[in-house]
Structure 1
């Protein structure tokens, strides 16, 4: 699974990981009243790595947690989902709107392999200082550069270069207009 190869999402090891993560999610999502510091301690307990000041507003959902890596100052708003069957990296200062889905899990295109229950994952990398608008979908294998804006509701199916703004379904990147000097 972690190597991005085909696997079956059953078996004792993955079942135990899923159970552990589900118990953690129950605790993390149980209240809106904990402080950011208290939430940060819980995030560090379960996620792969958590930078200083990173915060996720509950409710939050993920597959395993240990494949999620948050940089310093990362913020995820309500109802974000990360399917982290492989590594998902979110860079420093990135802000993610409510209802965003980051989906590293994928499925074979071959119907016979799907019938066998096979799946795989493709890593996602989101750069530094990115703003992802509410309801956006980030699809498997995508890399989003630094200083990018992803419009609300966009479906990102391809890599987005540094400094671009991407909107639509599928999201299309355009470079921002130069800022006039004042």
Structure 2
């Protein structure tokens, strides 16, 4: 069952976010220590008005537990959603030059993160979460949706192409090349 995320999903969701985001999760939390990264992801998930907030998430629930997540929001609010994260990172690191790379364009609904528990892989959960995000984007009046995928992640790249996404650009994110994929909905 796909539903809107709740703050109480944080404990189940943080490992899924970490699994999908890897180095990006470390950058967003300011740590490379797994326990601290997971705590940081839980922190941001439970807070309002940031990119990883439960407010921007749908989850797949099985047996009362969130086993898949999609994080999505409109690109026009990305800078606003990143602002509290940037502020906290600057405070933690005592470095006012810290920024987050631009991931979403101003005219697109952006899928920030998609992750499914390995226990539930191959059951169509990822595809269903993407369809839920696309439906939500349409309901909000948006006609374009996008995402980034690491060029080395062949299974994800294949899934997105199968769902009708096409690559229009390549950009660097945390030192890695990512394909920018779009779909008109």
TM range (shorter): under 0.3
Greater length-normalized contact order (CA 8 Å, ≥ 6 residues apart): 2
TM norm structure 1: 0.26
TM norm structure 2: 0.25
Greater CA radius of gyration, 1 or 2?
1
Q: Which has the higher helix share?
A: 2
